[in-house]
Copies of this chain bind each other. A is one copy, B any other.
Amino acid sequence: MYSSDITCMREALKEAQVAFDRDEVPVGCVIVCGNRLVARAHNLTETLNDPTAHAEMQAITAATHAAGGKYLLECTLYVTLEPCAMCAGALYWAQIGRLVFGASDPKRGFSTVGDRLLHPKTTVAKGVLEDECARLLRAFFRKKRD
């Protein structure tokens, strides 16, 4: 079922929409191992009053619990926005097999810091459903300004 990048990113987008509806910066994430979706999460920094409660951090914790181990070598993480340095650092420790993100983050994305944050074995794809991912973020910040 979760066999294409588009299908999986749509699931991440559903999570981002939940965040939007809760007045959180709308970033959503899922982790897929094989064809199995093992974790889904959205940004909860406001709700939890916790600056570390990014979608990716929660999904990594959930997926390693589900996997019963600290590593996610066979898994792909889908996230609607390019991960920040914190989340890329977490993906390094988890040794995620593959990272797929939608919109780029030219301000705080991990690629602005350097290319040494992710594990050397991690492959990266970007721009999947980029427009939809970015549109939701723009709508959120527009709403905030109004």
Contact = CB atoms under 8 A, between A and B. Distances in A.
Interface of A: 45-46, 49-53, 57, 60-61, 64-65, 68-71, 84-90, 92-94, 112-114, 116-117
A79 B90 CA distance: 18
Contacts of A52: 57, 60-61, 90, 93-94
23 contacts: A45-B93, A46-B70, A49-B64, A49-B65, A49-B68, A50-B61, A50-B64, A50-B65, A50-B70, A51-B71, A52-B57, A52-B90, A52-B93, A85-B88, A85-B92, A85-B113, A85-B117, A86-B89, A86-B90, A87-B89, A88-B89, A113-B114, A113-B116
Contacts of A69: 49
Nearest to A93: B51
A21 to B, nearest CB: 20
Given A49-B70, A50-B70, A52-B61, 19 more contacts: A45-B93, A49-B68, A50-B60, A50-B64, A50-B65, A51-B70, A51-B71, A51-B90, A52-B60, A52-B93, A52-B94, A84-B89, A84-B93, A85-B85, A86-B86, A86-B90, A87-B89, A89-B89, A114-B114
